[in-house]
Structure 1
Amino acid sequence: MHNILITSASGYLGGTVLARWQSANLPSYSHLYALYGAEPLVANINNQAEIASKIIDLNITVIYFLIDAYTAKHQSNMIQALGQVKAKTGQDVHFLHTTGAKQFIRHAGMPTNEPLFDTNPHLYDLQKNAKGPHAFFNEFVHAHAIIIDEAERHSVRSYIFAPCLVYGRGEGFGNKTSIQDVSIVQAAQGARRVCAVDSNNQTWPVCHVIDTATLYLQILRKILSGEDIGHGKNGYYLASSGPITWNEVYKAFAKALYKRKVVDDDDVHQVDEESRVKMAEGLGVKPQEIQVLMGGKCLYTAKRGYEIVADQEVELILEGLENNKGKASIR
Structure 2
Amino acid sequence: MRIFAMGITGFIGGQVIASLLEKRSKCHIRVLVRDEAKAQQIAKKWANIEIVKGDLDSHDVLVEEAKKADIVLQMADADHTGAIRSLIEGLERGTKGYYIHTSGAAFLFDVTNGFGNPSNKVSSDVTDLEAIKSLDLALPHRVADALVMELSTRASIPTAIVCPPMIYGIGAGPVKTRSIQIPRLIRAILKREKAFTVGEGNNIWGNVHIQDVADVYLRLIEETLKPNGGAASWGQEGLYFAQAAEHRWVDAVKSIAEEAFDRDCIKTTDIDKLTAEEVSSLDPLGSILWGSNCRSNAERIQALGWQPKGPPMYESIAAEIEAELASNS
Determine if the TM-score, normalized by the shorter chain, exceeds 0.5: yes
Instruction: State whether structure 2 residue 123 is matched by structure 1 residue 116.
Output: yes
Structure 1 residues 273 and 236, CA, compared in 2 at 3 Å: closer, same or farther?
Answer: closer
The CA deviation string for residues 187-236 of structure 1, in whole angstroms up to 9 with x for no partner, is 22443322211445122111111111112111111112331411122111
Matched with 1:183 is 184
Instruction: State whether structure 2 residue 91 is matched by structure 1 residue 94.
Output: no
Matched with 1:290 is 286
Q: Distance in 2 between matches of 1:72 and 1:270?
A: 39
Structure 1 residues 275 and 191, CA, compared in 2 at 3 Å: closer, same or farther?
Answer: farther
Q: Distance in 2 between matches of 1:295 and 1:125?
A: 24
Answer whether contact 2:5 2:73 (CA < 8 A) is retained.
yes
Answer whether contact 1:124 1:145 (CA < 8 A) is retained.
no
Map 1:165-176 → 2, pairs under 5 A = 165-176=166-177
Give the TM-score, by structure 1 length: 0.77
Moved more, 294-303 or 252-261: 252-261
Map 1:1-331 → 2, pairs under 5 A = 2-25=1-24, 31-34=28-31, 35=33, 36=42, 37=46, 38-56=49-67, 59-86=68-95, 92-106=96-110, 113-120=120-127, 122-130=128-136, 138=139, 140-199=141-200, 201-226=202-227, 227-272=230-275, 275-276=278-279, 278-280=281-283, 285=284, 289-309=285-305
Tell me the SS of whatever aligns to 1:74: helix
- 1:144 to partner: Cα distance: 1.0
Structure 1 residues 231 and 223, CA, compared in 2 at 3 Å: closer, same or farther?
Answer: same
Matched with 1:328 is none
Pair member with larger Rg: 1
Q: Distance in 1 between matches of 2:140 and 2:250?
A: 29
The CA deviation string for residues 24-72 of structure 1, in whole angstroms up to 9 with x for no partner, is 248x85x22125332222222222123223333xx11311111112443
The CA deviation string for residues 144-189 of structure 1, in whole angstroms up to 9 with x for no partner, is 1111102211111111101222222111121111112222123224
Q: Distance in 2 between matches of 1:107 and 1:72?
A: 28
Structure 1: unaligned runs, 5 residues or longer = 87-91, 312-331
Structure 1 residues 310 and 40, CA, compared in 2 at 3 Å: closer, same or farther?
Answer: closer
Answer whether contact 1:128 1:141 (CA < 8 A) is retained.
no
Q: Distance in 2 between matches of 1:5 and 1:208?
A: 24
Q: Distance in 2 between matches of 1:272 and 1:294?
A: 12
Answer whether contact 1:186 1:279 (CA < 8 A) is retained.
no
The CA deviation string for residues 277-298 of structure 1, in whole angstroms up to 9 with x for no partner, is 5412xxxx2xxx4222223112
Answer whether contact 2:201 2:249 (CA < 8 A) is retained.
no
Answer whether contact 2:200 2:250 (CA < 8 A) is retained.
no
Tell me the SS of whatever aligns to 1:41: strand
Tell me the SS of whatever aligns to 2:9: coil
Percent sequence identity over matched residues?
Answer: 20
Structure 1 residues 214 and 188, CA, compared in 2 at 3 Å: closer, same or farther?
Answer: same
- 1:8 to partner: Cα distance: 1.5
Give the TM-score, by structure 2 length: 0.77
Answer whether contact 2:201 2:250 (CA < 8 A) is retained.
no
Q: Distance in 1 between matches of 2:152 and 2:107?
A: 20
Answer whether contact 2:79 2:143 (CA < 8 A) is retained.
no
Structure 2: unaligned runs, 5 residues or longer = 34-41, 113-118, 308-329
Q: Distance in 1 between matches of 2:260 and 2:236?
A: 42
Answer whether contact 1:170 1:177 (CA < 8 A) is retained.
yes
Q: Distance in 2 between matches of 1:271 and 1:246?
A: 13
Q: Distance in 2 between matches of 1:274 and 1:296?
A: 13
Report the residue type matching 1:10 in the other structure. Answer: T
- 1:307 to partner: Cα distance: 1.2
